[in-house]
């Protein structure tokens, strides 16, 4: 028998070895740092109007590094605030949808039989609803631009797929011998789920989560772009891109700055998700 | 010597890894002649497979072979890929351990055989198909016409391995390399495959290389035996000589282990201890898809099994795969639901217990599994794995106390404290199985069910783990239910033995009586199939092996399920299920004719 190899690289080491994932992580790190700290370096406030500098293109001289919009608000600061809001919203929404999805999927998968059938029918029914319509109706009925409605809308879409993935994984795990061993030891169903099933799902779920965050950002941006998400004067990447798109011909910088940040963010999160999926696959060394 | 089919001289195989160049085989010189069988034995990792893969240019991408390898005088190393392709399949046929993974799943058996003939002999398709049928007959596949059109998954393990041999023979090779060809098979099927190889060698003048970890398997076939250890050839001698007077200490140790596993140990009678576990007419059936449209049929995995196990007693359960032995083991612990009958533990009906009471009861009823790594949660460290039962059953214990108990138990099963922080994939198979044993024993159970605990280990670890279980039983006086397809191990460990076939009980008897004077014809067949590590007896035993496969449990024969394979079957055997008759000496047997035969 070959001895086990304690020196087998851990998942994060395998992740770090992939050039694509490494670049993505570095760029993401920079973006997050900018979102948190970036506004400090600029003298401007996101909602402050600079009447002397309306719709100025980017330049260093007047301190508006990414230019200003029609109202003279600094686009550098607004973009970073937008990035901050988009990141926070998508992280919270992904987190909530992960929690619900993991709980729902693992209970359904582990219980099996009729309980599983009913729980998954609920998921099927929710899937069948045209989500975009519901969110649009919700956001226009309830206070327009309420962050809570947005969160509910985003989370409501996200957890369904997570629940399905988790259930499929749970079904596969349930047949494994170590789960039989846990039952033989005398663990109750809830303990088996929390101690043995969920830890073994986390690899797949994390990789999937890294791919849901960009979906959430995109969805939030899309809603904001439609004018249903984050409302002016608050900035999100979505409504900045929307605002920029209106001035695309006369003032392209209003679109380019926020759009570049959005594209970089989505690309990096996708690369990171792919990298995570590969690195967490035990068959990959 | 010109008659040498394959000759390796100073042949080495190395692998380039992240940790530098690792030798798999070092300066091995071997040869095999036409009509001769060379047995190559050694533990896993001894380099015995890599040696021949290297000679045929089949190493993994990071492997390098050096030295000389000549096939009929022609150097193989450095041969262009195209010419090597012409050698493999045409001059040399290979048979691997797992026929399921070495057959192409989406091609019919007939196509896979015919391809070899079309590719290597340039036969037209129709002719190749005709020859494929002949080859299937040659390897004694039943219903060969039908098998030609079947896919690999539709065949039983034994039939698949026969088909694999037919493919290996299709190019009329001069050399057949069989790499652990029977390791994945049941003991009766193993005997049949070995008998087929013996027949092929005798009748075709093929040179045969049999790679195996099992000295018993090699003893029946090999004219010369080579022993490998850590990539080196440590001893090579004619089989009779090597088995009679091995020169190397390592060879002697291997032989002793093989003989110990096959030799009976007189079991001590347990006296009249109270009944601990009792199963009454226990049946388990699983729903299986039947036809289409979601229709379901019941597959009877276990049918009316009744047994009693006394405190401190050890009962062996043997049978082929599909005999229901694992199902019985799990049903006794209520890990699979039974469809009829009941299980009584210490006078308490386990079915009547509430879920919480049953969970508390599990402390006394522990189990160890066949696959040590599969039965350990891959995300938990050894210390947590072993301590988990205590966390459930003794919640008042502090984390430190739990850890100390786990450590003490690990020490008892022979593992160092350094392994406490390891994950299961960082353990070897033998270490993993010890962790499994420690996890069960840390709860001080009164019954330990062992479900094929050593089948996935190599011979060396097998002997050690069996020894460990025996010692634990002696020390703690626990009752043991030991499920295995390996009769040698059961004989060594168990006081009574239950023989199962297709989910039915065939015979139950004290181990000594069962092995000395088996009553049921199936027990006799099982015993005759055990390969003995003795080249004087084993070839004769192989020639006497009878063909025959277990029927599908979906469609068991009427009456006595064994009758389709039984040499003593009569018309009456098909009519009614044989009664479970008590025989003399505490035994019982289910056979109408056990008194006459």
CA B375 to CA B377: how far, in whole Å?
7
Could you give the number of structural domains in chain A?
Answer: 1
Which among B333, B431, B457 has CB closest to A184? B333
CA B583 to CA B427: how far, in whole Å?
46
Write the pLDDT tens digit of every residue in B400-435. Answer: 999 999 999 999 999 988 889 888 888 888 899 999
Residue A61 lies in a domain: no
Residue A129 lies in a domain: yes
pLDDT at A47 over 80: no
Report pLDDT for B236: 93
Residue A1 binned pLDDT confidence (cut-offs 50, 70, 90): very low
Write the pLDDT tens digit of every residue in B1-12. Answer: 447 899 999 999
If one compares B522 and A77, the residue with the highest pLDDT of the two is: B522
Where would I find the H helices in B499-576? Answer: 511-516, 521-529, 538-543, 571-575
B363 and A200: CB-CB below 8 Å? no
Report pLDDT for B262: 60
Residue A47 lies in a domain: no
Phi, psi angles (nearest 5°) of residue B204: -110, -10
CA B462 to CA B464: how far, in whole Å?
5
C-beta of residue A44 within 8 angstroms of C-beta of residue A64: yes
User: Cβ contacts (< 8 Å) between A180 and chain B: which residues?
Assistant: 330, 335, 369, 375
Which among B356, B371, B389 has CB closest to A185? B389
CA B592 to CA B597: how far, in whole Å?
10
Query: What average pLDDT does chain B have?
Result: 88
Q: What helix, strand, coil percent values describe chain B, rounded to 5?
A: 40, 25, 35
CA atoms within 13 A on the CB side of B420: 15
Residue A83 lies in a domain: yes
> Containing domain of residue A185, as a range?
11-42+67-280
Residue A59 lies in a domain: no
Report pLDDT for A91: 86
If one compares B184 and A110, the residue with the highest pLDDT of the two is: A110
Dihedral sign of CA atoms B215, B220, B222, B224 in order: positive
CB within 8 Å of A195: residues ≥ 6 apart: A182, A187, B377, B388
Residue A52 lies in a domain: no
Report pLDDT for A145: 58
CA atoms within 13 A on the CB side of B109: 31
Other C-beta atoms closer than 10 Å to the C-beta of B122 total 9
* Span B246-263, average pLDDT: 81
CA B387 to CA B399: how far, in whole Å?
9
For residue B34, the distance in angstroms to the closest alpha carbon of chain A comes to: 33
Whether a cis peptide bond, with omega within 30° of 0, leads into B411 is no
Q: Which of B231, B294, B388, B444 to mutate to test the interface with A (most CBs of A within 10 A)?
A: B388
User: Cβ contacts (< 8 Å) between B333 and chain A: which residues?
Assistant: 184
**DSSP, res B344:** E
For residue A118, the distance in angstroms to the closest alpha carbon of chain B comes to: 19
A1 and B430: CB-CB below 8 Å? yes
User: Cβ contacts (< 8 Å) between A197 and chain B: which residues?
Assistant: none
Report pLDDT for A2: 37
Q: Tally DSSP H helices, then E strands, for chain A.
A: 11, 0
If one compares A126 and A1, the residue with the highest pLDDT of the two is: A126
Report pLDDT for A284: 45
pLDDT at A285 over 60: no
User: Cβ contacts (< 8 Å) between A176 and chain B: which residues?
Assistant: 374
* Buried-state track B40-62, b at ≥16 Cβ within 10 A, e below 16: bbbbbbbbbbbbbbbbbbebeee
For residue B60, the distance in angstroms to the closest alpha carbon of chain A comes to: 15
**Strand B588-589 relative to strand B581-582: parallel, antiparallel, unpaired?**
antiparallel
CA B379 to CA B367: how far, in whole Å?
21
User: Cβ contacts (< 8 Å) between B359 and chain A: which residues?
Assistant: 186-188
Q: Which two tokens stand for residue B473?
A: 């039983």
**Helices B399-412, B382-393: crossing angle, 10 deg rounding:** 120
CA A114 to CA A283: how far, in whole Å?
34
B388 and A185: CB-CB below 8 Å? yes
pLDDT at B441 over 70: yes
CA A213 to CA A180: how far, in whole Å?
35
Write the pLDDT tens digit of every residue in A206-247. Answer: 888 887 888 888 888 788 777 777 777 788 888 888 888 888
B188-197, B334-343, B543-552: which has the minimum mean pLDDT? B543-552
A272-281, B163-172, B373-382: which has the minimum mean pLDDT? A272-281
pLDDT at A114 over 50: yes
A185 and B376: CB-CB below 8 Å? no
Residue A143 binned pLDDT confidence (cut-offs 50, 70, 90): low
Strand-pairing partners, residue B365, are B447
If one compares A107 and A37, the residue with the highest pLDDT of the two is: A107
Task: Name the closest residue on chain A to residue B423, using Cα atoms.
Answer: A6
CATH, residue A252:
1.10.3720.10
CA B463 to CA A64: how far, in whole Å?
78
Report pLDDT for A4: 37
C-beta of residue B463 within 8 angstroms of C-beta of residue B296: no
Residue A28 lies in a domain: yes
User: Cβ contacts (< 8 Å) between A2 and chain B: which residues?
Assistant: 44-45, 428
CA atoms within 13 A on the CB side of A36: 6
CA atoms within 13 A on the CB side of B29: 2
Kind plus residue range of the DSSP H or E element containing B86? helix B81-87
**DSSP, res A68:** B
C-beta of residue B261 within 8 angstroms of C-beta of residue B462: yes
Q: Tell me the domains of chain B and their CATH numbers.
A: 275-494 (3.40.50.300), 507-597 (no CATH)
Residues of A with CB under 8 A from a CB of B: 1-6, 8, 176-178, 180-188, 191, 195-196, 199-200, 282
pLDDT at B268 over 60: no
Q: Which of B521, B450, B503 is nearest to B320 (CA)?
A: B503
Task: Name the closest residue on chain A to residue B448, using Cα atoms.
Answer: A184
For residue A173, the distance in angstroms to the closest alpha carbon of chain B comes to: 10
A180 and B388: CB-CB below 8 Å? no
User: Cβ contacts (< 8 Å) between B374 and chain A: which residues?
Assistant: 176-178
pLDDT at B273 over 90: no
CB within 8 Å of A69: residues ≥ 6 apart: A55, A75, A78, A243, A247, A254
Residue A3 binned pLDDT confidence (cut-offs 50, 70, 90): very low
Which among B362, B369, B377 has CB closest to A186? B362
CA A60 to CA A222: how far, in whole Å?
31
* Span A114-131, average pLDDT: 90
Q: Which of A22, A35, A107 is nearest to A258 (CA)?
A: A35
pLDDT at B305 over 60: yes
> pTM of the full predicted structure?
0.79
CB within 8 Å of B314: residues ≥ 6 apart: B267, B473, B479, B480, B481, B482, B493, B494, B495, B496
For residue A186, the distance in angstroms to the closest alpha carbon of chain B comes to: 5
A182 and B377: CB-CB below 8 Å? yes
A177 and B375: CB-CB below 8 Å? yes
Report pLDDT for A6: 41
Write the pLDDT tens digit of every residue in B506-549. Answer: 999 998 888 888 999 999 998 888 888 888 888 888 888 877 77
Q: Which of B419, B438, B418, B439 is nearest to B427 (CA)?
A: B419
User: Cβ contacts (< 8 Å) between A195 and chain B: which residues?
Assistant: 377, 388
Q: Which of B110, B453, B483, B161 is nearest to B325 (CA)?
A: B483
ipTM of the complex: 0.77
Residue A266 lies in a domain: yes
B389 and A186: CB-CB below 8 Å? yes
B439 and A185: CB-CB below 8 Å? yes
Q: Which of A191, A243, A213, A230 is nearest to A75 (CA)?
A: A243
B371 and A184: CB-CB below 8 Å? no
Strand-pairing partners, residue B228, are B233
């Amino acid at each position: 028998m070959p001895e086990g190899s304690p020196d087998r690289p851990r998942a994060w080491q395998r992740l770090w070895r992939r050039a694509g994932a490494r670049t993505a992580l570095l760029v993401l790190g920079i973006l997050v740092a900018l979102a948190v700290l970036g506004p400090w370096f600029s003298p401007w406030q996101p909602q402050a109007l600079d009447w002397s500098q309306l719709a100025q293109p980017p330049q260093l001289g007047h301190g508006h590094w990414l230019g200003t919009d029609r109202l003279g608000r600094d686009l550098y600061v607004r973009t970073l605030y937008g990035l901050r809001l988009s990141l926070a919203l998508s992280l919270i929404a992904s987190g909530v949808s992960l929690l619900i999805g993991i709980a729902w999927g693992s209970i359904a998968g582990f219980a099996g039989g009729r309980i599983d059938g009913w729980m998954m029918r609920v998921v099927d029914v929710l899937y069948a609803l045209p989500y975009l319509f519901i969110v649009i109706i919700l956001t226009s009925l309830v206070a327009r631009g309420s962050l809570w409605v947005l969160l509910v809308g985003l989370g409501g879409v996200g957890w369904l797929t997570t629940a399905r993935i988790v259930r499929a994984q749970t079904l596969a795990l349930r047949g494994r011998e170590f789960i039989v061993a846990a039952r033989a030891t005398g663990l109750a169903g809830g303990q088996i789920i929390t101690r043995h099933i969920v830890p073994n799902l986390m690899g797949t779920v994390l990789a999937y989560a890294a791919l849901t965050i960009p979906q959430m950002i995109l969805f939030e941006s899309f809603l904001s772009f439609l004018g249903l998400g984050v409302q002016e004067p608050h900035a999100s990447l979505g409504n900045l891109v929307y605002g920029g798109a209106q001035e695309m011909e006369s003032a392209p910088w209003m679109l380019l700055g926020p759009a570049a940040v959005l594209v970089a963010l989505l690309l990096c999160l996708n690369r990171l998700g792919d990298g995570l999926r590969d690195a967490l696959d035990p068959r990959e060394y | 010597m010109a008659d040498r089919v394959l000759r390796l001289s100073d042949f080495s195989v190395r692998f380039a890894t992240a940790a530098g160049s690792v030798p798999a085989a070092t300066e091995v010189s071997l040869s095999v002649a036409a009509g001769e069988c060379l047995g190559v034995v050694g533990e896993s990792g001894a380099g015995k497979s890599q040696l021949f893969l290297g000679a045929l240019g089949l190493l993994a991408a990071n492997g390098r072979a050096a030295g000389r390898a000549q096939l009929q005088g022609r150097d193989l190393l450095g041969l262009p890929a195209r010419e090597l392709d012409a050698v493999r399949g045409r001059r040399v046929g290979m048979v691997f351990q797992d026929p399921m993974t070495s057959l192409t799943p989406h091609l019919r058996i007939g196509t896979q055989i015919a391809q070899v003939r079309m590719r290597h002999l340039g036969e037209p398709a129709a002719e190749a198909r005709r020859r494929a049928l002949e080859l299937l007959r040659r390897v004694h596949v039943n219903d060969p016409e039908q098998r030609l059109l079947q896919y690999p998954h539709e065949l039983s393990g034994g039939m698949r391995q026969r088909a694999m041999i037919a493919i290996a023979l299709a190019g009329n090779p001069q050399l057949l390399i069989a790499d652990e060809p029977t390791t994945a098979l049941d003991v009766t099927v193993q005997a049949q495959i070995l008998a087929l190889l013996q027949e092929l060698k005798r009748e075709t003048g093929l040179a045969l290389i049999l790679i195996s970890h099992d000295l018993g398997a090699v003893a029946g076939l090999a004219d010369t035996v080579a022993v490998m250890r850590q990539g080196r050839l440590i001893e090579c001698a004619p089989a009779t000589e090597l088995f009679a007077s091995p020169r190397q200490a390592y060879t002697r140790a291997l032989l002793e282990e093989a003989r110990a596993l096959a030799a009976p140990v007189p079991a001590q009678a347990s006296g009249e201890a109270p009944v601990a576990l009792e199963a009454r007419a226990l049946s388990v059936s699983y729903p299986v898809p039947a036809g289409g449209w979601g229709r379901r049929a019941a597959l009877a995995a276990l049918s009316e099994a009744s047994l009693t196990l006394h405190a401190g007693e050890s009962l062996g359960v043997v049978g082929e795969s599909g005999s229901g032995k694992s199902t019985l083991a799990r049903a006794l612990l209520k890990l699979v639901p039974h469809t009829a009958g009941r299980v009584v533990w210490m006078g308490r009906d386990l079915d009547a217990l509430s879920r919480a009471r049953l969970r508390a009861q599990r402390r006394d009823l522990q189990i160890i599994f066949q696959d040590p790594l599969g039965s350990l949660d891959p995300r938990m460290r050894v210390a947590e794995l072993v301590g988990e039962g205590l966390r459930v059953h003794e919640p008042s214990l502090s984390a430190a106390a739990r850890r100390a108990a786990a450590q003490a138990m690990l020490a008892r099963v022979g593992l160092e404290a350094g392994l406490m922080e390891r994950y299961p994939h960082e353990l070897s198979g033998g270490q993993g199985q010890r962790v499994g044993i420690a996890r069960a024993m840390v709860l001080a159970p009164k019954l330990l069910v062992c479900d094929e605990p050593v089948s996935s280990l190599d011979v060396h670890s097998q002997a050690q783990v069996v020894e460990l279980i025996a010692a634990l039983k002696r020390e703690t006086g626990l009752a043991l239910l030991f499920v295995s397809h390996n009769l040698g191990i059961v004989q060594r460990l168990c006081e009574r033995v239950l023989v199962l076939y297709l989910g039915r009980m065939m015979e139950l008897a004290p181990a000594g009586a069962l092995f000395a004077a088996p009553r049921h014809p199936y027990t006799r067949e099982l015993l005759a199939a055990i390969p003995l590590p003795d080249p004087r007896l084993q070839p004769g035993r192989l020639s006497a092996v009878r063909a025959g496969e277990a029927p599908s449990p979906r469609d068991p024969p009427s009456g006595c399920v064994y009758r389709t394979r039984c040499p003593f079957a009569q018309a009456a055997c098909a009519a009614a299920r044989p009664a479970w008759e008590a025989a003399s000496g505490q035994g019982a047997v289910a056979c109408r004719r056990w008194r006459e035969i």
